[in-house]
Chain A
């Protein structure tokens, strides 16, 4: 949930900078080629940590001023694990909601709509017979994902629906989750 104390039409989004970046990347398409990366280290059991900091983009290697971020993933005690972090699949749901919500704020700012509050609830259905290897007809991943948005904003219901629709159209994680992606795993 994101709340701004005094709603402004920019919703905390620097829309001028984003539009400037869009124009710059339109004029120089190679700068738009990005590579995101992280380093995952096993800790114990199902607990591991992923550190992210550097990425490639705008034609060169980039490093965050913040020093980067660390995310832990684990399984809850229901699977006899230590619950040192959210499950990886919950992280996927977090990423999906986080990406679409970021889009809602950005699209709203671009359309001059001030947001007061945005709350998304997200659910993914999964049949564990897949990952447990019980039934080979069941897929490992989600068989259905639902997101519900509650948005308070200075806009009509249709305008708010249009924000959420446009945000999905421009969301990286929404695309990643809804469309096939080639993944290559190597061992060195």
Chain B
């Protein structure tokens, strides 16, 4: 997490090659990030005389990216504190989505439900999805990862993969293995506002309205609360944190709880936004969100959010300009380029391992 730092060493005069490398790392990366939208923006200006199309791509990208950001935060939180890639996190997100959908019918939520009842019902669904996903994540940590705390890193990693498959199969048993369309409760794609040709839908608004407060809450919690400080201390040096009286196990559980809560929220938003659920959605989302976390600098909260938003934008631009079938290749090509220029990710984080 962001509290982790490196003691400054004796400053040496950098060599010319290092200066060039640093320059490329800093500005080359910015150039890469801007190149994609800039190229198509210029093309739009030439073809249409305005930037409406690229504007719409970016608006869609940011709302999609907001969902990825919520999932990515779970990866980065866990990695920051125990340096484990929790491969089951995507499935925690899927379980959140399934829980949300499962509650709609008992709560009487359908496209004809009145606004007040819908808002209240969705609030209940949101809380339930967050609690289920959060509890499940804590349980997995307690059962699967805690006993392996001192084990070689491969052991918890494989355990995480195992939990991922177990939860996927739970999803298959729950709703079958096919993608399933769900009622469009909020008329997700209905235009809410149009600013100079850039359309914002209800789904877009929902994604921002839930993600932004949750991210602010999380960053405030981690940055300013006592428990947040304990998390940062544990991330920096668990042994020292223990000596300072911090209950490391509880702190780690808390981290899993936070990640799970965010994944549950993302599950509901995703269900409302995409209007479908699928047992495999967690794997796909997990892959994207993990990529976002790595892109932003794994272990860094702001990096995860930034990575999520960037991937969302790349996805939508690629879908619209290159083709949906090539989008995964474009995203990962971007990731590779960013890693080449800046292995620590966009914002970067010096983890215990690295630092």
Whether chain B is bound by chain A comes out as: no
Residues of A within 8 A of B (CB): none
